[in-house]
Amino acid sequence: MSTTSAIDSDDEGGELFNGFGSAPMSRSTSQKRTSKRWSFHNNTRPNLQDMPSAASIARRLSDITGEDGVHEEMSVSVLGGGQLYSTESGRLFHAGKIIISLAGLPGRGKTHLSVSLTRYLRWLGVKTHSFHLGNYRRASAEDDITHDLFVPSPNSKKANDIRNKIVNECLSDILNFFKNDKGQVAIYDAVNALPEYRLELHQRFKELNIQVLFIESLVTDDSIIMKNMEEAARSSPDYLSWDYQKAYKDYSERIKTLTPYYKEMGAEKESELSYIKFINFGERIELHNSNYGYLINKVVFYLMNSRIKSGSVFFARCYKNSLEYTQDPPLDEEGLKYSRDLAATLFDHLKSQGKHYIKELDEIKERLRPLAPARTLSVEERHPAAGVDGVDINSLVVWTSVKQRTVETTKFFAERNVKIRHRIQLSQKNPGIVGGLSEEEIEQKFPNEYDHYQRDPYHYRFSRSESYHDLAIKIEPLILEMERMSGDILIIADDTILKVFYGYLMSCSCYDIPYLNFSTDEIIEVKFNAYSNSATRIPITSHEK
Amino acid sequence: MPVYSISHVENVRVCVVMVGLPARGKSLIAQKIVRYLSWLSINSKCFNVGNYRRQLAGTEDINAAFFDSNNAEGLKYRREAIDNAVTDMMKWFSDENGVVGILDATNSTRERRDRILKLCRENLIEPMFLESFCDDDELILQNILDVKTTSPDYVDKDNEFATQDFLQRIKFYEEIYETMDQATDSDLTFIKLVNVNSQIILNRIESYLESRIVYYVMNLHIKPRCIWLSRHGESEYNLTGQIGGDSNLSDRGMRYAKKLPDLVLKSLGEENKHTNLTVWTSTLKRTQQTASFLPYKKKLQWKALDELDAGECDGMTYEEIENKFPEDFKARDDDKYEYRYKGGESYRDIVIRLEPIIMELERQENILIITHQAVLRCLYAYFMNVPQEESPWMSIPLHTLIKLEPRAYSTLVSRIKADIPAVSTYKEKGTSQLGEASGPNISKSRDLIKDSDVV
């Protein structure tokens, strides 16, 4: 329990809060606003409808396999999908401005950490950007990246100059982000090897009223480092068009050169600093001087659940979601075929990716013989938590809603021993009064409401309906659970729900989420990578019996 | 069809083993976790070893000497107490499908923790150690003041004696105390909270449920604050007895809205009248109209605070429902918490949609929530630990401001009536008529809120 739950130094305290609702809260007459201020509900946010028509057509994203938006520059008005409210300063949770500075040797997953944190915080609506020192180095040194550029005190003057230049460039961009872009959290992805550096950073930003939180990534398990080195040699932008073996060798030399310089955090002189030690990717997390408040607690909650994922998230639409919201019929013949094809297509795909963990039907019959008496594991040692989904990299879990037809759709998965989880939060968006109406009919029947909806389809709520934003808040617990699972997940749901999940994974702005388009003849696969996620389509093919 | 709110918990079982010297706030944390999880329909229970010990040894002759590790008789009682608690807990896990059991004791030695650990592993229960460590004397003394006024061990005992005796008791424990540490305990799932969260160590958190518990504990704060709850003013639908809808306030409802700022001021008291509140409402007109005269700047609308969605029955009166869907009407009375209206929601569904914002609520300070009958019942149940079978049957009258003051070991409730007449929207079990009847069949929690202090 923290005695100081929030740091109230920010200017947010006196601001007007805007919850996202059907109508802006009006101030009483005694509180007439004296000056025009930015808020979500006044007209300074992008007005999609009155934009040149070409632009508004371009926003209709029919191709959902676009780019991961996690590195996009944030315009002042972009809002995250799960943002609870807006404030005039653009900053949230009374948390002020924060720089999260990473620390750790190469190969410790810093980039992954900064990117996935950025994704989560942007989703919460916190204006976050990750600044990778490596990108600045690549821009400056181009072909001439020597190990000298990575150590804190390079031998050559030239390397030293370049080093100082890139650090300064990066830090001034960070300041700019706070100053001009209403940024709230900057994630500084660099090695930050020495206590003197870290103290200086702390001092420099403290003077500007920006809190500094360090997250130090430590790895004591060599197998994790090996895996990261392989990943870096394969996909790091430093090694574009390099031979894999050569890249691997270079990277391991880089780590070797840097290791003697690196000083772990926690020395006496650093006792003032606030830092989180993130050990073996979350196996242990230590918070020091952690009375930071809610936003950082959220970060820690995320860190507890964040895993380096090797599994994918698959999205499939549930059958017949044109049905009226309140109806709940069982699957018909067509639907049964769809379900069979869906399962078979996914199983084929997994196999083609070298994943052979789905059991064949005849194998399963074998296994359904009475099981051996349950507990033979030793009590002297630790075992994986019993009954937790997705611990095994080689596993598939299906999530779907509680509607009859989605329950029946999962039958072909269940018979292959795939775990099925039904969640009420995965039910389709409640359409309220416009249920069953086409866009044209809505426009005719409720012209006024339709106009509002057009302006902000993400937040606008027709009478009695849910907005996409309401869905986003509802599924937040599921997003964290999803992050925690190492294996594969298939989500079968209405496309309104899929859009929101996809929006999180690919960092879509909430202006784009309503226009994402999922079709019934394909599965979308989202793969996790350290620097950005990627999405691909898998056509559902007919698998007649 | 099982519906999981927090995690798929049908397989996962967690035993939270509290660790720490006396007066480190262990019981408070344990109780809060149980309240939170129970509210989310996760079967959880706290096993307080102190209570077992008191049952065995009474409280008459209990003083610090009893806790001396050289006191053979005291030791015998204390061993027996923990054995009984652990036995009961294991029985509860297996017989009552327990999901999260909390063993609230000092568990101060590694030997003791090892025994519990093995027992858990044998039974496929995930052990999670939660240590509250504190070496800040000021914090400890503050906590002792709290404990001594509430602990059953010191009922009818002199204040000065209680403090001294308790300090001595802590000393005895300190002699044998072994704290959790990274080196020796690296293989265990543990959380160590140092000096009220100034340092936190999280080791091997391996399930979402565990992470949720940790996150919850991290967000608890002990700053004094109040929560005000109110239903919207009487609405046009209330007058006609219709449920759901999105109607406007009636004239009397409007009068309540106008009076609400004064009621809040009265409840704050003269010295706190400048306290700034945050106001939360639902997205429906009647709560916003009710909030419209409040002078506070921070107003937020939440879809999650909207009234229970009655689906096809929306806009009907109970009589109409009884006529049109007699079976549904009865099914709802039989299990009001679980019953889901056709195309609508159940009380359980409301709790699921409130889950993401309850954390938001825990971190807030002074807050006024204007919402609807069913949602208010769920929120009240969270703060006051009202069981599921009872919470849907609580009577929450219109035009009444309820104030909750969370304290370390309990929550104080008081209410202020606006003295503006309103219809009753309370429906007894087995009838479609509104109003509170008298007789033997009334729900035992119906008058829970009405019996609380009226200011």
pLDDT band at A164 (very low <50, low <70, confident <90, very high): confident
Residue of B nearest to A20 (CA): B301
What is residue B8's predicted lDDT score, i.e. its pLDDT? 44
pLDDT band at A118 (very low <50, low <70, confident <90, very high): very high
Q: Does residue A78 register a pLDDT over 80?
A: no
Q: Are residues B440 and B317 in the same domain?
A: yes
Query: Tell me: the pLDDT tens digits for B286-337?
Result: 999 999 999 998 888 887 899 998 878 889 999 999 999 888 888 888 888 8
Q: Are residues B39 and B124 in the same domain?
A: yes
How far away is chain A from the Cα of B129, in angstroms, using its nearest Cα? 14
Q: Does residue A22 register a pLDDT over 60?
A: no
Residue of A nearest to B116 (CA): A379
Cβ-based contacts of B289 with chain A (< 8 Å):
none
Q: Are residues B26 and B153 in the same domain?
A: yes
Q: Does residue B137 register a pLDDT over 50?
A: yes
pLDDT band at B39 (very low <50, low <70, confident <90, very high): confident
d(CA B362, CA B420): 31
Closest by Cα among A466, A470, A445, A467 to A455: A467
pLDDT band at A76 (very low <50, low <70, confident <90, very high): low
Out of A53-57, B26-30, B308-312, which region has the weakest mean confidence (pLDDT)? A53-57
d(CA B97, CA A420): 21
B185 a catalytic residue: no
Q: Are strands B400-406 and B411-417 parallel, antiparallel or unpaired?
A: antiparallel
Q: Which domain holds residue B432?
A: 227-454
Out of A32-46, B228-242, B351-365, which region has the weakest mean confidence (pLDDT)? A32-46
Dihedral sign of CA atoms A142, A144, A147, A150 in order: negative
What is residue B264's predicted lDDT score, i.e. its pLDDT? 95
DSSP state letter for A6 = -
Q: Which two tokens stand for residue A443?
A: 């426009």
Q: Does residue A33 register a pLDDT over 50?
A: no
CATH classification number, A313-366+390-430+466-539, choose in 3.30.2320.30, 3.30.1200.10, 3.40.50.1240, 3.20.20.80: 3.40.50.1240
Query: Tell me: the pLDDT tens digits for A240-274?
Result: 888 999 999 999 999 998 999 999 998 888 888 99
Rg (CA), chain B: 24
Q: Does residue A277 register a pLDDT over 50?
A: yes
How far away is chain A from the Cα of B50, in angstroms, using its nearest Cα? 23
Residue B7 placed within a domain: no
pLDDT band at A529 (very low <50, low <70, confident <90, very high): confident
Cβ-based contacts of A462 with chain B (< 8 Å):
none
The boundaries of every CATH 3.40.50.300 domain in chain A are 68-305
What is residue B69's predicted lDDT score, i.e. its pLDDT? 84
Q: Are residues B231 and B206 in the same domain?
A: no
d(CA B126, CA B188): 10
Q: Does residue A145 register a pLDDT over 70?
A: no
CATH code at B28? Answer: 3.40.50.300
Residue B448 placed within a domain: yes
Question: A87 or B380, which is more confident?
Answer: B380
Q: Are residues B288 and B426 in the same domain?
A: yes
User: Do B352 and A424 count as a contact with CB atoms less than 8 A apart?
Assistant: yes
Query: Tell me: the pLDDT tens digits for B187-220?
Result: 999 999 988 778 899 999 988 889 989 988 888 7
Q: Are residues B165 and B64 in the same domain?
A: yes
The length of chain B in residues reads 455
What is residue B443's predicted lDDT score, i.e. its pLDDT? 65
User: Do A284 and B299 count as a contact with CB atoms less than 8 A apart?
Assistant: no
d(CA A542, CA A338): 8
Mean pLDDT, chain A, as a whole number? 78
When pLDDT is averaged across residues A384-397 and rounded to a whole number, the result is 79
Query: Tell me: the pLDDT tens digits for A451-499?
Result: 888 888 887 777 767 888 888 878 888 898 899 888 999 999 988 999 9
How far away is chain A from the Cα of B49, in angstroms, using its nearest Cα? 23
Cβ-based contacts of B126 with chain A (< 8 Å):
385-386
Residue B1 placed within a domain: no
Q: Are strands B367-371 and B400-406 parallel, antiparallel or unpaired?
A: unpaired
When pLDDT is averaged across residues B117-126 and rounded to a whole number, the result is 90
Q: Which of A1, A40, A297 to mutate to test the interface with B (most CBs of B within 10 A)?
A: A1
What is residue A249's predicted lDDT score, i.e. its pLDDT? 92
pLDDT band at B420 (very low <50, low <70, confident <90, very high): very high
pLDDT band at B444 (very low <50, low <70, confident <90, very high): low
pLDDT band at A312 (very low <50, low <70, confident <90, very high): very high
Q: Does residue A66 register a pLDDT over 70?
A: no
- Among B191, B219, B247, residue at a domain's last position: B219
User: Do A301 and B4 count as a contact with CB atoms less than 8 A apart?
Assistant: no
Residue B2 placed within a domain: no
pLDDT band at A153 (very low <50, low <70, confident <90, very high): confident
Q: Which two tokens stand for residue A374?
A: 């349950």
d(CA B222, CA B406): 9
Residue B311 placed within a domain: yes
Q: Which of B15, B129, B197 to mutate to test the interface with A (most CBs of A within 10 A)?
A: B197
- State CA A76 to chain mean position distance: 20
- State CA A123 to chain mean position distance: 7
What is residue B407's predicted lDDT score, i.e. its pLDDT? 73
Cβ-based contacts of A26 with chain B (< 8 Å):
292
For chain A, say whether B91 makes contact (Cβ under 8 Å): no
User: Do B297 and A14 count as a contact with CB atoms less than 8 A apart?
Assistant: yes
d(CA A334, CA A542): 12
What is residue B208's predicted lDDT score, i.e. its pLDDT? 85
Q: Which of B136, B142, B207, B213 to mutate to test the interface with A (most CBs of A within 10 A)?
A: B207
Choosing from B307, B309, B328, B345, which is the catalytic residue? Answer: B307
How far away is chain B from the Cα of A474, in angstroms, using its nearest Cα? 6
Tally of domains in chain B: 2
Longest Cα separation, chain B: 73
Mean pLDDT, chain B, as a whole number? 86
> What long-range pairs does B73-77 form, CB within 8 A, spacing at least 24?
B77/B53
Query: Tell me: the pLDDT tens digits for B330-362?
Result: 888 888 888 878 767 889 878 877 876 787 788
The full DSSP string for A134-179 is HHHHHHHHTT---GGGTSSS-SSHHHHHHHHHHHHHHHHHHHHHHH
User: Do B203 and A20 count as a contact with CB atoms less than 8 A apart?
Assistant: no
Query: Tell me: the pLDDT tens digits for B259-270?
Result: 999 999 999 988
Q: Are residues B204 and B262 in the same domain?
A: no
pLDDT band at B149 (very low <50, low <70, confident <90, very high): low
User: Do B297 and A16 count as a contact with CB atoms less than 8 A apart?
Assistant: yes
B234 a catalytic residue: no
pTM: 0.79
Q: Are residues B243 and B284 in the same domain?
A: yes
Q: Does residue B372 register a pLDDT over 90?
A: yes
Longest Cα separation, chain A: 77
Q: Are residues B135 and B253 in the same domain?
A: no
Query: Tell me: the pLDDT tens digits for B52-100?
Result: 998 888 876 778 888 888 888 888 999 999 999 999 999 999 898 899 9
Torsion angles phi and psi, residue A13, rounded to 5: -55, -45
When pLDDT is averaged across residues B223-227 and rounded to a whole number, the result is 82
Q: Does residue B398 register a pLDDT over 70?
A: yes
CATH code at B333? Answer: 3.40.50.1240
The catalytic residues of A are: 189
When pLDDT is averaged across residues A280-299 and rounded to a whole number, the result is 83
Query: Tokens 């200086």 map to which residue?
Result: A200
Q: Does residue B16 register a pLDDT over 80?
A: yes
For the CA atoms of A109, A112, A117, A122, the dihedral, rounded to the nearest 10 degrees, stands at: 160
Q: Which two tokens stand for residue B407?
A: 């304290």
Closest by Cα among A466, A353, A339 to A414: A339
pLDDT band at A171 (very low <50, low <70, confident <90, very high): very high
Residue B268: exposure state from Cβ atoms within 10 A (0-12, 13-18, ≥19): middle
Q: Are residues B206 and B255 in the same domain?
A: no
Terminal CA-CA length for chain B: 45
Q: What stretches of B132-250 show up as alpha helix (H) in DSSP?
A: 137-150, 159-176, 208-219, 236-240
What is residue A341's predicted lDDT score, i.e. its pLDDT? 94
Q: Does residue A54 register a pLDDT over 50?
A: no
List all residues 6 or more positions away from A443 whose beta carbon is below 8 Å from its beta carbon. A450
Residue B193 placed within a domain: yes
Question: 10 Å Cβ neighbour count for A367?
Answer: 9
When pLDDT is averaged across residues A312-316 and rounded to a whole number, the result is 95
When pLDDT is averaged across residues B36-49 and rounded to a whole number, the result is 89
Q: Does residue A55 register a pLDDT over 70?
A: no
d(CA B100, CA B114): 19
d(CA B371, CA B361): 14
Torsion angles phi and psi, residue A86, rounded to 5: -120, 155
Q: Are strands A284-288 and A274-279 parallel, antiparallel or unpaired?
A: antiparallel
Highest mean pLDDT among A307-316, B108-117, B340-349: B108-117
Q: Does residue A15 register a pLDDT over 60?
A: no
Out of A47-56, B153-162, B315-324, B406-415, which region has the weakest mean confidence (pLDDT)? A47-56
B307 a catalytic residue: yes
User: Do B283 and A26 count as a contact with CB atoms less than 8 A apart?
Assistant: no
Q: Are residues B202 and B269 in the same domain?
A: no
What is residue B202's predicted lDDT score, i.e. its pLDDT? 93
Q: Which two tokens stand for residue A262?
A: 């690196």
Query: Tell me: the pLDDT tens digits for A182-203?
Result: 788 999 999 999 999 999 999 9
User: Do B199 and A288 count as a contact with CB atoms less than 8 A apart?
Assistant: yes
Out of A112-116, A309-313, A491-495, B309-313, which region has the weakest mean confidence (pLDDT)? B309-313
Q: Are residues B362 and B237 in the same domain?
A: yes
Out of A18-22, A93-97, B69-73, B184-188, which region has the weakest mean confidence (pLDDT)? A18-22
| Domain A68-305 class in CATH | alpha beta
